[in-house]
Amino acid sequence: METLLSIANTAKLRMQFAMALRSCLHWFLLLACLLFVLAIIDRVGISAMMPWNVILILVGAVTVLTSLLVWNARAVTTLEAAASVDERLELHDRISSAIAEIPTTSPFSDAVLADALSIVEKEQVKSKLARAFPIQVPNAFGIVLAIACVTAVILWSPQWGFFQGSGGDGLPSAVVDSRENVTSSVEAVLEQLKEDEALSKELEEELEELAATTTNSLADPEQMRSDALKKMTDLQRRLDEMMKDENALAFNEMLRRMQNLKLPKSGSTVPLIAAMKNGNISKAKKEFEKLQEQMDSKELSKEEREKLQEQLQELAKQFEQLAKANDALASALTSAGLNGALAQNADAAMKAIKNAKNLSEAQKKKLLELIKAQSKANQKCKNLSKGCKQLANGKSESTTATELQKMQAMQQFMTKAELAKSACKKAGSCIGQGTGGTGIGNGGTNPVEKTDTTMVAQRTPVSTLEGTIIAKQLFEGGMLTTGESTSRVKETVLTQRREAEQAITDEEVPRRYHDLLRHYIGQLEELTEPSKNGDTENSE
């Protein structure tokens, strides 16, 4: 009996699935046509109108619900399935009769069951069920699939813009304002970056991607704004990376070291050293060129030449001392839990950092970059010292001039990168504001005429001039403390210095405050040193 029921149930499932497929196909065709019409309506305008995420979720839910309802709407019974098997395989009602006689127990029902089993085995009914009850996909399924493909192509295409509003070019005013806002902001950034050939070449790929966001005149304004903001963010991130590489860190370290140069009371090198201490590399380069002209001049007396040579030699000694100044690296190593003495040996410091287990990968990377920057700064100081000696010995070609030229180029590059980053921020702010649509109110007539406006990111050149010094007063002699008090002050200043360097290493302090913070800590350290000449006071 189980064999007969299995045959009937198999036929039942195949029959019900075929009927459900035919019934569902009509609903699927209706849904496909509806999506097709909605896609056309959505694309004919200048901007998208349909919330397709919601629509597709609803279509999926309707498809599943329709399939369940159609499946349960017409259920085929086991006896109907058995009768269909008898009819299609010409078994003369043997299987349906045997299943109908299941509730009764009589010699007749036993005979009917035995006859049905024998004919099933003889005719191999199980193997013929698939051929007798085929599941065929209706021809209309191809139409549904074709409509779905065409709908997908329509949704993939950009807006057609057949029906446009009443803007200046036939577009809605909100769309026009939004596009002009994005386009003007992007053009301002591109113009800013293309002013420097080296910077634009370095960012060539990013600039091409940014320019491509405004090339499609039929693009959705919201999508255009989103793409432009993303490209602006990527560009700012790239500029940040360029301003934090080894060369930039070495340049900033050189600016910090040159602040420690001692300014003589008089002499021809005073303007040069003052420009270096102030970080004005362009002026320092010009002042050094003047010194070269003086050394080459035949009008310079022997005494003046010897005096200038002494000053240059003294400046060379200062740069030699700065080449050995690894205080920043020593402080950073100490803050990281390593031996600060490793700052004197770059290779040993790098090995110690790589083998340190208490440091994260990000901390190791920052410390390794700092070591490389310190090594480059040391080499620059040596080159400047060598150049001063060369000039003192009467050589016209000097490595100092070459090094100052490189530093000047780096300073210009950093300045332009900072301006470009600022332009990206301003443009991103303008783009992020967007433009609103048409409002609906219930007030009276507005007496003021509405004017379409937009924002344009533009850089205005600023000229910074030196101010007038009202008063100046110099104190020497160190802190007015001695003995144990001086020791405690020194310990406090050293602790503050380690914490400041750690904050700089962890990027907790903005870059523009790094030099100011280090200069402040350096002044505190100088104040804790005991006076060599006694407590004196000079004022002017």
Mean pLDDT on 396-419? 81
Q: Which amino acid is at 318?
A: Q
Same domain, 312 and 386: yes
Q: For residue 10, tell me if it sits in a domain.
A: yes
CB atoms within 10 A of CB 85: 27
Helix (H, G, I), strand (E, B) or coil at 450: coil
On the question of pLDDT at 218 being above 60, the answer is: no
Of 339, 369, 397, the residue at which a domain comes to its end is 397
| CATH code of the domain containing 346 | 1.20.58
The answer to whether residues 7 and 148 belong to one domain is yes
C-alpha neighbours within 13 Å on the C-beta side of residue 316: 19
Q: How many helices (H) and strands (E) does the chain have?
A: 21, 2
CA distance 84 to 91: 10
pLDDT surpasses 50 at 221? yes
Q: Higher confidence at residue 289 or residue 213?
A: 289
Choose the most confident range, by mean pLDDT, from 369-378, 489-498, 506-515: 369-378
Which pLDDT value is given to residue 177?
58
Is residue 386's pLDDT more than 80?
yes
Average pLDDT over residues 419-441: 62
214: its two tokens: 């405004």
pLDDT of residue 537: 41
In angstroms, the CA 81 to CA 130 distance is 14
- Percent of the chain at pLDDT > 90 equals 3
Residue 361 and residue 271 in one domain: yes
CA distances in angstroms from 102 to 60, 83, 344, 478, listed in the order given: 44, 15, 100, 115
Question: Which of 199, 218, 237 lies at the terminal end of a domain, its last residue?
Answer: 237
User: Would residue 447 count as lying in a domain?
Assistant: no
Task: Give the pair of three-digit tokens for residue 266.
Answer: 């008089």
Burial class, 79, CB count within 10 angstroms (exposed 0-12 / middle 13-18 / buried 19+): middle
User: Residue 332: inside a domain, yes or no?
Assistant: yes
CB atoms within 10 A of CB 325: 18
Q: Are residues 151 and 35 in the same domain?
A: yes
Residue 131 confidence class, pLDDT cut points 50, 70, 90 = confident
Distance CA(375)–CA(246), nearest Å, equals: 10
Q: Which of 56-60, 331-335, 372-376, 421-425 is predicted with the least confidence, judged by mean pLDDT?
A: 421-425
Same domain, 271 and 207: no
User: Across residues 151-171, what is the average pLDDT?
Assistant: 67
208 in the same domain as 70: no
Tokens of 389: 């000696």
CA 86 to chain centroid, in Å, comes to 71
118 CB burial (10 A radius; 0-12, 13-18, 19+)? exposed
Interhelix angle 484-505/514-528, rounded to 10 degrees, is 170
Give the angle 250-251-255 at the CA atoms, nearest 5°. Answer: 115
Closest CA to 287 of 306, 257, 267: 267
Give the global pTM: 0.45
Query: Could you tell me if 219 and 292 lie in one domain?
Result: no
Percentage with pLDDT > 70 across the chain? 77
pLDDT at 449 over 50: no
Evaluate whether residue 466 is within a structural domain: no
* Residue that finishes a domain, picked among 202, 237, 272: 237
**pLDDT tens, 75-98?**
788 888 888 888 888 888 888 887
- pLDDT confidence of residue 441: 42
Q: What is the pLDDT at residue 359?
A: 83
Whether residue 90 is found in the same domain as residue 13: yes
Instruction: Taking residues 237-249, report their average pLDDT.
Output: 79
Predicted confidence at residue 347, as pLDDT, reads 83
Closest CA relative to residue 5, chosen from 76, 82, 75, 77: 82
Q: Are residues 224 and 100 in the same domain?
A: no
Q: What is the pLDDT of residue 189?
A: 73
In a domain, 432, yes or no: no
Judged against a pLDDT cut of 70, whether residue 281 lies above it is answered with: yes
Instruction: Check residues 404 and 499 and name the one with the higher pLDDT.
Output: 404
CA distances from 27 to 30, 288, 346, 355 (A): 5, 87, 76, 68
> What pLDDT was estimated at residue 57?
92
- 8 Å CB contact between 410 and 248: yes
Quote the pLDDT of residue 76.
82
Spatial distance between the Cα atoms of 369 and 381, rounded to a whole number of angstroms: 18
Most confident region among 42-56, 283-297, 525-539 by mean pLDDT: 283-297
- pLDDT at position 58 is 92
Verify that 34 and 82 share a domain, yes or no: yes
Cα separation, 505 vs 499, in Å, equals: 10
Cβ of 427: how many Cβ atoms within 10 Å? 28
Which range of residues forms the domain containing residue 354? 246-397
Would 449 be classed as within a structural domain?
A: no
pLDDT of residue 130: 82
In this structure, the answer to whether residues 325 and 369 fall within a common structural domain is: yes
Is 412 within a domain?
no
Domain count, the chain: 4
* Average pLDDT of span 453-457: 43
- Tell me the C-alpha distance between 82 and 62, whole Å: 34
Instruction: Judge if 253 and 229 occupy the same domain.
Output: no
In a domain, 450, yes or no: no
Mean pLDDT, all residues of the chain: 75
